Amino acid sequence: MNEDLVSRERIVAVDGVELWAEEFGGPGHPVVLLVMGARAQGVQWNDGIVRRLVEGGRRVIRYDHRDTGRSSVVDFAVRPYTVADLASDALAVLDAFGVERAHLVGASLGGIIAQRVAVTDPLRVLTLTSLSSQPLGTDTAALVRRALEGAPPGPGELPPPSAELLAALAATLPDPGAGLEGHLALRLPLWRVLHGSVLPFDEEEYRAMERRVYERARDLTAGFNHTLAGAAGGDDTAALASVTAPTLVLHGTEDPMFPPAHGEATAARIPGARLVMIEGLGHTLPTALDARLAEEILRHTGDREDAV
């Protein structure tokens, strides 16, 4: 077995919580930190993407946010946190692995977290890749509220999640007592909507992912705290004008969570950002696109001054 593809796990202590993390790849290679989205575990960065990045000469780190996977479950009422805290978690993971500067790749909420790090700690960021995300500081809760009220977006506002997705989200509140099959029955319809209608939907692929998520989770309901953290706000979209890291914005043409205008707005607000629209991609990471996504990330991170 290629030793670079062997996982090296550790627990990172930060701010009174423990974060599960793992790394792959040679210690001398440039680091790519993969930051997952809301309620999502680090292992939802597909193994195929990780393998391709490692084979492309990258040291890859992925981790579970607080309130997901094997990381600590937080009593949000007692210890509320914000996106700023989740960004501090990302930096703590880099510190734990002895990484001074890294290529940040964030999906969905992870893209917002990565953007915030690029704003507040630019010396830690070699490059930024924002995937299936939206501009830092966007008030998504207000967009959703308007959509549920039947009101169109206000002047200059970005479009809300699709009506089909909002309905699917409302129907998938987790039932801790439902067991694995009940969990799958709730989650698979949501994944069908998130996946989009263009690319073929491989149900067994999503079943396998959700089995892994179910088996690793300390508390499947805890991730809903990420919605509360995101609603806390505190960031201004104008801050993106200060980003100096070379930036790639990857976005799907079929994204029902953050329609394409969100990716376009992110790229427009970051100086020099390059926008790449992925035809047919929804708001998931289907394995059929592992090669394409890894190729884009490798290309973006390959011509930079690398450091560890």
Q: Is 17 helix (H, G, I), strand (E, B) or coil?
A: strand
Closest to 300 measured CA to CA, from 134, 133, 130, 136: 130
Q: Is 290 marked active-site?
A: no
Exactly one of 235, 255, 290, 306 is catalytic; which is it? Answer: 255
Exactly one of 283, 290, 300, 306 is catalytic; which is it? Answer: 283
Contact partners, residue 144, CB within 8 Å, separation at least 6: 160, 161, 166
Contact partners, residue 303, CB within 8 Å, separation at least 6: none
What is 223-289 written as a DSSP string?
GGHHHHHHHT----GGGGGG--S-EEEEEETT-SSS-HHHHHHHHHHSTT-EEEEETT--SS--GGG
Residue matched to tokens 């996982």: 7
The single-letter DSSP state of residue 57 is T
Judge residue 34's burial from the number of C-beta atoms within 10 Å of its C-beta, 0-12 exposed, 13-18 middle, 19 or more buried: buried
- Cα separation, 221 vs 226, in Å, equals 11
Q: Is 162 marked active-site?
A: no
The single-letter DSSP state of residue 73 is P
Q: Is 255 marked active-site?
A: yes
Exactly one of 108, 130, 132, 133 is catalytic; which is it? Answer: 108
Question: Are 251 and 132 in contact, with CB atoms under 8 Å apart?
Answer: yes
3-state SS record for 94-120: HHHCCCCCEEEEEECHHHHHHHHHHHH
Annotated active-site positions, please?
108, 255, 283
